[in-house]
Structures are given as C-alpha cells and as structure tokens.
Amino acid sequence: MFADYAVRAEHSRGRRFPEPSHPYRNDFQRDRDRVIHSRAFRRLENKTQVFTRRYSDHFRNRLTHTIEVAQIARTIAAQLGLNVDLVEALALAHDIGHPPFGHAGEKALAAAMQAHGMSFDHNLHALRIVEDFELRYAAFRGLNLSFEVREGIIKHSRDYPGRDFPQLAEYLLDQRPPLEAQLIDVADEIAYATADLDDGYEARLLTLEQIRSGVRLFDGFYRDVEQGYPEAMEKLKFNEALKRVLDRMVGGLIENTQKEIQTTGVRTLEDVRRCPSRLVTLSPEVEEQRRTTKEFLYANLYFSPALDEEKEDAERVIRDLFGFWISKPESLPPSYQEKAQHEPLPRVVCDYIAGMTDSYIHEQYEKFCGTRNP
C-alpha cells in the first residue's frame, strides 16, 4: 500500500516519446527493465568501485555496489510506503554515468574537461546516456524513460540551480525531488560505508584493531558479538558486527524519515516537492556515526598509500588518452568523429572515455599511448 506522498506510476508525467501502456508492467517497472538491459548497466561489471581485481576478484565493483544499493533502497522504501518500483529503477541507474577507475577516474576526467573550460558530472552524463547514447529502439534514441526516473537521475544526490543549468529546466529544479529519489543518495552512502569497511578488511588494508578504534559504532557491536559468540572465527565476528552497523543505519534512516514526515505535516507528493529541505535523512546521532565512518574510510582507506599507484595510473591513462584524442580526433571511432562535427570535441572525447570499462580503456591506452608503466 502506497503512502499518499508516494509517486504513483499511473500519475507519471510520461515519457518524452509517448508509448502505449504495457499489458502487465507499469511504467516504472518497464524503466527498471530498460536500465537492466542497457549496455551502460552491463559495463558497470568492469568498472572499479574502490579496489581493482589486483586485490581480489570478489570485491565490489560498480555493478555489485549498485545491486546492494537497490536492495537497501527497496527495503527502506517498503517501510516508508514509497513506490518500490521507482526506487529500484533509480537505484539501478544511479551509477551508470560513472567513468572507469572509480573516483580517481572521475577526478581525472573532470580535470581534463576543466582545462577546456568545461566540466564532467556523472549525473548529467547518466542523463545523456539514457536520453541519447543507448540505441535499442527503432522509434527513438535513448531509453525513453519516464519523467520521474530522469528527474531522479539528476536530482537524487544534489540540487542544480536553475540559473546555472537552464538545459535542465524541465526537471522542476525549484522543487524538491520525490522521496523515492531522495532515498537513493542516503542508501548509497550507507551501502558504501559498510561495504568499504568489509572490502578494506578483506584486502588487509584495514585491520580489525584500526576499525574498532576508529569506528566506535562498529566497536560497540563487536563487543556484543564477542560476548554472544566467543568461539566464532574473527571474520565471522566481523561480519556479524558489520551487519549490525548496516541495520543500525537503515533502521535509523527509516525512523528519522518517518519522524520528519510527521513533524513537517507532509501528506502529498506536492507537499514533498514544496518542502524547504529534504526529508529522507538520518537522525543527528546516526548521521554523526555515518559521518565518522566515512571520515575513517577517507583517512585510512581511500587515501591509503597502498592505493596511490593504482590511482596515479588511472589518472595518467585518462589524462594521456584524453590529450591524444584532442590532438588526433581522426583516431576516434567513426561515430565519435561524426559527433565531433556537431558537438565540442572535448565533450565528445569525454563521452567516449566515460563509457569505457577499466579493461577497455587499458587496451586503448596500450594501442595509442604505449605501455602504462614505461
């Protein structure tokens, strides 16, 4: 049963190109399926989340992270009475605009574009993917997703001022996104905060002692686990404590969001859109726990010297390939050469690189720039 403030598929603002209704799937279910069947979604399997396969082939990549975000978001949405189909579609699409090599790749691509007076934003790139780059249908370019999914791709994690982004005017930039979209950003934060502790521990870049001393929430649960399972293996105790951290954050998000909805008196979707602030939030206490966990990860994992070589390699590969294709656009694939006749060359090169997987961009680097470590 949906809450009154949930988005309903039958009230969708529709698609850019009208289509007849499907006999047994609503519009948001169709959008979810279109994302899953897209090339951009499949490429997530070979895009780095935090760790490359140099450490292990079972660490999270962009695809497995996306699936975990979708699972967490569906659980929360059901408890809040939100539209689970819309939430799932948004969760599955939320990372399709990311380039190869994780955050190091995004940093390098943004720097390359900035040198040309332009920018790279993975949300805006995701919108370009679903509106233009995906070619699956004879009747239109892109995936022709519903307005609500396209709006959520843009607005789930940040607000875009209308004066700075006139090209996004159709997406109601002066209004809050629905709760279904607001949920994705916090579910994403919860997912990677806990998953990266797990992968960091598995990679032996984080020790149990480091985590316990740096993440008090985890330490408290680990103490409880030790009392309940004194004979268990350390890894199983770790898993149990981390599961409780995840439950704490998810439960805290559900409870605080319910409280915010009640306090603000929100009853309808229009109330949500007019609300002066986002409603899907953690309580101050749980937010502080999430924030300190994130700070711990930045200090001890994301900026770990052990990852410096990989990040530097990623930045060099993107920087050198970007420069190569700017200087020799005739080396781009024919379809991108054609696009460069109508769009700025830096944007075309950026689009090409952003769509690559980690393995494919390495192949291109070795083809055009030589070995990665001369």
The CATH number covering residue 164 comes to 1.10.3210.10
Residue 32 lies in a domain: yes
Residue 45 lies in a domain: yes
Residue 347 lies in a domain: no
CB atoms inside a 10 Å sphere around CB 244: 17
Contacts of 27 (CB under 8 A, 6+ apart): 9, 12, 15, 21, 146
Residue 367 lies in a domain: no
Is 221:254 a contact under the CB 8 Å cutoff?
no
In Å, how far are 21, 49, 110, 218, 323 from 318, measured between CA atoms? 43, 17, 10, 37, 8
Residue 270 lies in a domain: yes
* pLDDT tens by residue, the chain, 374 residues: 899 999 999 999 999 999 999 999 999 999 999 999 999 999 999 998 776 656 556 688 999 999 999 999 999 999 999 999 999 999 999 999 999 998 889 999 999 999 999 999 999 999 999 999 999 999 999 999 999 999 999 999 999 999 999 999 999 999 999 999 999 999 999 999 999 999 999 989 999 999 999 999 999 999 999 999 999 999 999 999 999 999 999 999 999 999 999 999 999 999 999 999 999 999 999 999 999 999 999 999 988 888 888 889 999 999 999 999 999 999 999 999 999 999 999 999 999 999 999 999 999 999 999 864 44
Residue 329 lies in a domain: no
Residues 63 and 180: their CA atoms lie apart, in Å, by 21
Residue 166 lies in domain = 9-308
pTM: 0.94
Residue 2 lies in a domain: no
Is 131:158 a contact under the CB 8 Å cutoff?
no
Residue 374 lies in a domain: no
Number of domains in the chain: 1
Contacts of 19 (CB under 8 A, 6+ apart): 139, 144
Let me know how long the chain is: 374
In Å, how far are 214, 215, 220, 223, 224 from 230, measured between CA atoms? 22, 21, 15, 10, 10
Residues 101 and 282: their CA atoms lie apart, in Å, by 30
Classify the C-alpha dihedral 261-265-267-272 as positive or negative: negative
Residue 344: both structure tokens together: 């700025």
Classify the C-alpha dihedral 279-285-287-288 as positive or negative: positive
